[in-house]
Structure formats: C-alpha cells, structure tokens
Amino acid sequence: MGQAFYVAGTGTDIGKTFFSCLFMAKYAESYGFRYWKPIQTGLSSASDTEFVQKTTNLSDSFFLKPVYEFLTPTSPHYASKQEGKTLDPKSLLGVIAKERKTNTLIEGAGGVFVPWTEDYLAIKGIQESNLPVVVIGSTELGTINHTLLTLDVLTARFIPVIGFYLVGPKNPLQSDNADIIQRLGGAPCLGVTNFPEQKLLPSEFISFANEHFDTDRNVIDTLLIPEDEI
C-alpha cells in the first residue's frame, strides 16, 4: 500500500516543479513513485509533466496525465473561463481519491489560495482530498512571510503537513530562513536544495539529486510512515 502526497507552493513559480524533479530523479525508480499534475495551465509552452520527464529521463509509466489542461497561463478559474471549459472540483477529487493509496507525487497549480473555479479555492480541494502536504518555499528574501502564511492556513484547517522544503538560488539568508520558519511555523524543515549552477543533462541531474536532495531522508522516510501515524 502506498501513499500519495500533495506538493503545495507558497506562490507561483516558487520551485514546486524543481522539487518534483529532484524527488522523482532520486526516488521514482526505487520506490515506484509517479508524478501527477492534475490541473495544468499554460500549455502554450511545455507542460510541467513534460519538463519533469525530460529532466529525469523517466519512462511514461512514471507519469499520470493531467485531468484538466488549459493553454492560458493563468489560474485555473480564469483559464477555464477563457477557453469555455468546465473544471469540476467534485469530479477531480473523485479521481484523486482513487490514487490515495498509491505512491504518487501530486503537484498543485500555484499557491494554496489559487481559485480552481470562481467559488472554489485550491486549499479546499487540498483539505477535501485529505492528503499529506509538503510545502515548497523559496530560499530567498520574503520566504519567511510567505511560508509561514501558507503553513498557518493549512494547519488551521487541520490539513496534515509533512513539513516544508526550501529551494532556490544559494542565499546567505537560507539557513536562518529555514530555522525561523521551523521555529515559528509548527512544521519541520525537511531540507534545503539550491538550484544547480548550470543546466544539467538528465544523467547529471540524477547525480545532482542523489547528492543534494533530501540528504537526511526526511521527506522519504516520513512518506514511508503509515498514514495514520503521520
């Protein structure tokens, strides 16, 4: 029996997909994890699923197709309206529920208050999915505020938070950022990984992930704990 988990960001383009690449590169084959972005906007360029697959060089069997796809690079509620499509949260949650007991990384779209529809926020979907969450924050200035806000709204709704992980450029503030967020946010820091200094080939990225990601196994070991003990 596996454990799906939700990757939530403190904002848009904060590093969720980079985290997902790292996680999949290091753990997909050894633990049978799959990557899934149920709602994908901005398909006028490469999708996040395509990016993760290209970066990690994993086969199609490690990826689930999005449930909803939109060309418009905006929040789902606006993209669906612009393209004349309907996003049904209840239907989406039904699909997600079928994957609860599988080893699946589910990447969210934007931050936790992004509207899926005009009257349904992402955080409600996260809450109703009842999946454990890893919060992704930046290493840079401003991350204390953004990450604490995200942790606060999740824990206030009794959403199970595994912890937070910081990614981004190397920053002299990042150690203090992680310490303060952990001290004040009520959730453990699972790790910090900086962006590589140059673009890497898939084989190089896999080596990078094995060396620099989840070095203390905080993420994977927590996920391997039975769900009722998280």
DSSP string of 125-165? HHHHHT--EEEEEESSTTHHHHHHHHHHHHHHTT--EEEEE
Q: Which of 37, 85, 101, 124 is catalytic?
A: 37
Name the binding residues for Mg(2+). Answer: 17, 48, 107
pLDDT at 65: 96
All domains of the chain, ordered by start, with CATH?
A: 4-223 (3.40.50.300)
- Give the pLDDT score at 1: 61
Q: What is the pLDDT at residue 159?
A: 97
Structure confidence at residue 199 (pLDDT)? 93
Spatial separation of the C-alpha atoms in residues 226 and 134, rounded to whole Å: 16
User: pLDDT at position 2, please?
Assistant: 82
Would you state the pLDDT for residue 228?
56
The predicted pLDDT at position 225 comes to: 77
Question: Could you tell me which of 118, 120, 64 has the C-alpha nearest to residue 89?
Answer: 120
Task: Identify whether 37 is a catalytic site residue.
Answer: yes
Tokens standing for residue 125:
């979907």
CA–CA gap between residue 193 and residue 213 (Å, rounded): 6
Q: Which residues are annotated as a binding site?
A: 13-18, 41, 48, 107-110
Residue 226, pLDDT score: 64
Which has the closest alpha carbon to 160: 197, 195, 184, 135?
A: 135
Pull the structure tokens for residue 94. Answer: 């039904």
Weakly modelled stretches of the chain, pLDDT under 70 = 1, 44, 226-230
